[in-house]
Structure 1
Amino acid sequence: MRKLSLALVATASAATLSLTALQAQEAPPVPGQMDVSEVAAGTYKADPAHTIIGFRLNHFGFNDYFGVFGASEGTLMLDPTNPSSAKVDVTIPITSVAVAADELKDHLLRAGKDGAEPDFFGPNPTAARFTSTNVEVTGPTTAMITGNLTMNGMTHPVLIAAEFTGVGTNPMNKAETIGFEGRAQINRSDYGLDFALPFVSDQVILDISAAFEKQ
């Protein structure tokens, strides 16, 4: 019986190894690569379906609340031989905001009561816009991007810690694509969004994931 058990274990192990090898052979190549030398100079357009800005802020001192803005559009002008000359110009439609609670989304886009100013963005908010003013290269795949964020009719400087995350050909539409991620922090009160302060934190963390397609 022991010999039979050992034989079964050996057979199963061999089958597992064979299956793993077969899967490795059949696995499609990953289109995105981290080789910065593959990036071509030129103008890139943001892929709105895959460029998102997440936000998080503390709620009543208990835990962080999350949300996301999607459908962002814009351009990136990039020369890999001179990355500090890069220019970014992106717009973020506020109406695309997605949060876990329908009541909160309604509140974010709701008109003020009895003709008063809205607590947040209101029903017809203008899209937010970020335009870069300076790019400081900090490593082979990292940079600090300084720019102006206009939101809710107010403009303030913002610093984004950015990282290059991939380059390659999109297997679906064959577009030459590059990806970046970034993080920034803003104070929502700077943009007139001071409802529920200080119970809901003033500081908002922005997590950015962006894909740009070569034009």
Structure 2
Amino acid sequence: MPLINRSTCSLLALGLLLAACGNEPETTETADDSAAATEEATGDSLEAVADADAEATPAPAPAGVDYAVAESGTYTPDDGHAYIVFSYNHLGFSNPMVRWGDWDANLNWDADNPENSTLDVTIDATSVDTGVDDFNTHLNSSDFFNTAEYPQISFTSTALEVTGPESGILTGDLTIRDTTMPVTMDVTINKAGFEERGNVHKLGFSGRTTVLRSDFGLDAYVPNVSDEVDIIVEAEFEKPA
């Protein structure tokens, strides 16, 4: 057997050491990488805590309308800012808008308990205004409103439900051509306030409901001209200070 000298032993030992080092798993993560990962994990934790706090804390409720700013009493329409309009579908081509130009109303407003408020509306049916004289004449005829026999349209409220800070549902009786039907109208209370220029307390409302005109004997040309009619109200009411 050949003898192994010291030089050979030294080379073998160096080879074994290198081989052992080569078998160790590679590690590419640096101290900076480790710190960044820790920082990211901490940030995610803080964000999760913030999200949990946000879910636990409810959003503030909308302020709504301060009804008490408009004091209780009887209000009437501001003629320059009061509109009652109806709309229907014409043969699928358009949705005309028709206005009644002459109407009056009394709003008995209870600022402390709005649900106790009442509304009475009277419309001069002959004041229907399409913008076309011949069409106005046709709507006044017996085919439609028959204003020679039924010159007025009326609405009398029976209940008001406040459903939100600025919303409500107004229920009442609508009478057209001597036929009375219950209707409900979605109402938005836009604003209550005091207008110094006019020295009046004011209330602003938007309302919308849909009725079937055939319920009131107005069934000419149904269904080519829609049975469904949208009634839209935009009105400011006022009470002298």
Fold match by TM threshold 0.5: yes
Seen in structure 2, the aligned counterparts of structure 1 residues 127 and 50 have a Cα distance that, compared at 3 Å, is farther
Confirm or deny: 8 A CA contact 1:51 1:71 kept in the other structure: no
Structure 2 unpaired stretches of 5+: 1-63
2:229 maps to a residue whose letter is V
Q: Hey, what does 1:174 align to over in structure 2?
A: 199
List aligned pairs for 1:89-100, cutoff 5 A. 89-100=120-131
TM-score under structure 1 length normalisation: 0.75
Q: In the TM superposition, what is the alpha-carbon distance from 1:122 to its structure 2 partner?
A: 2.6
Query: Is the Cα contact below 8 Å between 2:213 and 2:228 reproduced in 1?
Result: yes
Greater C-alpha Rg: 2
Match of 1:203 in 2: 228
- Following superposition, the deviation at residue 180 of structure 1 comes to 0.6
How far apart, CA to CA, are the structure 2 residues paired with 1:40 and 1:190? 38
Greater relative contact order (Cα < 8 A, sep 6+): 1
Deviation, 1:172, is 5.5
- Structure 1: tracts of 5 or more residues without a match: 1-32, 111-117
SS at structure 1 position matched to 2:136: helix
Q: Per-residue deviation at 1:171?
A: 5.7
Q: CA deviation at 1:35?
A: 3.9
Q: What's the Cα RMSD here?
A: 1.9
Name the CA shift for 1:123/1:146 in 2 (closer, same or farther; >3 Å): closer
Provide the residue aligned with 1:85 in structure 2. 116
The answer to whether the 8 A contact 1:45-1:73 is kept is: yes
- Distance between the aligned counterparts of 1:95 and 1:119, measured in 2? 14
User: Hey, what's the Cα distance between the residues in 1 that align with 2:228 and 2:239?
Assistant: 34
TM-score, normalised on structure 2?
Answer: 0.68
Distance 1:48 1:195 in 2: 32
- Identity across matched positions, percent: 38
Is contact 1:57–1:64 with CA below 8 Å preserved after alignment?
yes
- CA distance change for structure 1 residues 68 and 161 in 2, over 3 Å: closer, same or farther? same
Aligned pair count reads: 176
2:138 pairs, out of 100, 107, 111, with 107
Report the Cα distance in structure 1 between the residues aligned to 2:208 and 2:119, rounded to whole angstroms: 15
The structural deviation recorded for 1:152 is 1.3
What's the counterpart of residue 90 of structure 2? 59
- Superposition map of 1:79-158 within 5 A: 79-110=110-141, 118-124=142-148, 125-158=150-183
2 CA distance for matches of 1:42 and 1:167? 13
As a proportion of its length, which structure holds more helix? Answer: 2
Distance in 1 (alpha carbons) for counterparts of 2:143 and 2:237: 34
Q: Deviations over 1:52-100 (max 9, x none)?
A: 2111100012221111113321211121221111111111111111113
Tell me which residue corresponds to 2:186: 161
SS at the partner of 1:63?
Answer: coil
Determine helix, strand or coil for the equivalent of 2:95: strand
Which residue does 1:188 correspond to in 2?
Answer: 213
Cα distance in 2, alignment partners of residues 91 and 57 from structure 1? 22
Cα-to-partner distance string for 1:191-211 (whole Å, 9 max, x where unaligned): 111111110000000110122
Q: Does 1:44 align with 2:72?
A: no
Indicate if the aligned counterparts of 1:51 and 1:72 stay in contact, CA closer than 8 A: no
Rounded Cα–Cα distance in structure 1 between residues aligned with 2:203 and 2:170? 17
- AA at the equivalent of 1:90: V
